[in-house]
C-alpha cells in the first residue's frame, strides 16, 4: 500500500469510527482486516495497546486503541518492522507526543543546570 492509498484508507477508517465510541474485538478485526487472535497477540506485545473490558469480559476498543492498532499494523506490514522494533518505535512516538514526559525529563534537568550556573556565578562574585 503506498502512502496516498494509506492516507485515503486511514481517513476513510477515521470517518467510519465516528459512528460510535467503542468497538468489540470482532468489529475491529473486520474493520482492519486482521484476525482476532492477532489483536490479542498484539495486546500482549505492545504495552500501549490496552483495551478495556466490559463486565462480561469482552474487549472494548476505543478510537485511541484503534489508532494504535492501525499504527502497529503500518509498522509491521508496510514498514516491515519486527515486533521488537515496532514496540520501540511506538514507545519513542509515545514519549515524544506526551507533554508530561517532556516536562518530567527536561524541566528538572534544566533547573539543575540553571542552579549550577547560578552557583558558579555567585562563587565568582564572592
Per-residue pLDDT tens for 31-62? 999 999 999 999 999 998 999 999 999 999 99
The residues near 65 (Cβ < 8 Å, ≥ 6 apart) are 28, 49, 50, 51
pLDDT of res. 105 = 55
Residue 105 lies in a domain: no
Q: Provide the pLDDT confidence category of residue 2 given band limits of 50, 70 and 90.
A: very low
Residue 64 lies in a domain: yes
Q: What number of CA atoms fall less than 13 Å from residue 67's CA on the CB side?
A: 12
Query: What's the number of domains the chain is made of?
Result: 1
Residue 23 lies in a domain: yes
Kindly tell me if the per-residue pLDDT of 7 is higher than 70.
Answer: no
Kindly tell me if the per-residue pLDDT of 29 is higher than 80.
Answer: yes
Residue 75 lies in a domain: yes
Write out pLDDT tens, residues 67-120. Answer: 999 999 999 999 999 999 999 998 888 766 665 555 555 667 777 778 887 888
Residue entry with cell 496516498: 4
Q: Does residue 49 contact residue 43 with C-beta atoms inside 8 Å?
A: yes
**Where in the sequence is the domain holding 84, given as residue range(s)?**
3-98
Work out the mean pLDDT of the chain and round it to a whole number: 83
Residue 26 lies in a domain: yes
Residue 111 lies in a domain: no
Residue 82 lies in a domain: yes
CATH label of the domain that carries residue 19 = 1.10.1660.10
Q: What is the model's pTM?
A: 0.66
Residue 123 lies in a domain: no
Amino acid at each position: 500500500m503506498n502512502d496516498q492509498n494509506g492516507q485515503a484508507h486511514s481517513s476513510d477508517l477515521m470517518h467510519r469510527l465516528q459512528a460510535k465510541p467503542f468497538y468489540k474485538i470482532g468489529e475491529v478485526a473486520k474493520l482492519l482486516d486482521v484476525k482476532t487472535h492477532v489483536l490479542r497477540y498484539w495486546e500482549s506485545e505492545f504495552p500501549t495497546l490496552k483495551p478495556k473490558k466490559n463486565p462480561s469480559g469482552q474487549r472494548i476498543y476505543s478510537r485511541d486503541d484503534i489508532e494504535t492498532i492501525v499504527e502497529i499494523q503500518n509498522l509491521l506490514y508496510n514498514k516491515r518492522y519486527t515486533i521488537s522494533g515496532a514496540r520501540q518505535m511506538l514507545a519513542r512516538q509515545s514519549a515524544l507526543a506526551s507533554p508530561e514526559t517532556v516536562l518530567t525529563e527536561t524541566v528538572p534537568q534544566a533547573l539543575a543546570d540553571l542552579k549550577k550556573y547560578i552557583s558558579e556565578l555567585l562563587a565568582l562574585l564572592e
